[in-house]
Amino acid sequence: MPESNHALQATLQAKPEKVDEVAEFLESALPLAEEEAYTTTWFALRLDETTFGIFDTFADEDGPEKHLNDEIATQLMERADDLLVEDPEIEEIEVLAAKHS
């Protein structure tokens, strides 16, 4: 079992005219993720021209809930109507295997 087997996966569909703003928001969120002691890994991803993703892992089962109530999620939801086609699709997932360097 990996040490970070609790995870969240979010998919964000940016409005075409807001793609750059969504990318900038995600890039600017890294320092906030680094401050979260319960978040073991955090990735901001571009999946295609207007689709972005966030993937993060947590050491325990309380981590995902804490993260969803913390600063990154709060800021994202405050700006969702302006930046996104629809609310983010967020799924809690289980990591079965992982390699950490």
Domain boundaries, the chain: 6-94
pLDDT band at 52 (very low <50, low <70, confident <90, very high): very high
pLDDT at 89 over 70: yes
Alpha helices per DSSP H over the chain: 19-28, 30-35, 63-68, 71-83
Q: What is the mean pLDDT of residues 53-74?
A: 94
Structure tokens at 35: 């401050």
Q: Which fold would CATH assign to domain 6-94?
A: Alpha-Beta Plaits (3.30.70)
- The closest alpha carbon to 6, from 74, 50, 52, 65, belongs to 65
Structure tokens at 5: 């087997």
Tell me how far apart the alpha carbons of residues 79 and 81 are, in angstroms, rounded to a whole number: 6
pLDDT at 81 over 80: yes
Report pLDDT for 2. 54
Tell me how far apart the alpha carbons of residues 69 and 67 are, in angstroms, rounded to a whole number: 5
Q: With contact defined as beta carbons under 8 Å apart, do 52 and 44 qualify?
A: yes
State the DSSP H helix or E strand holding residue 90, giving kind and residue range, or none if neither.
Answer: strand 89-94
- Chain mean pLDDT for the chain: 93
**3-state SS class at 37:** coil
Q: What is the mean pLDDT of residues 54-73?
A: 93
Report pLDDT for 64. 94
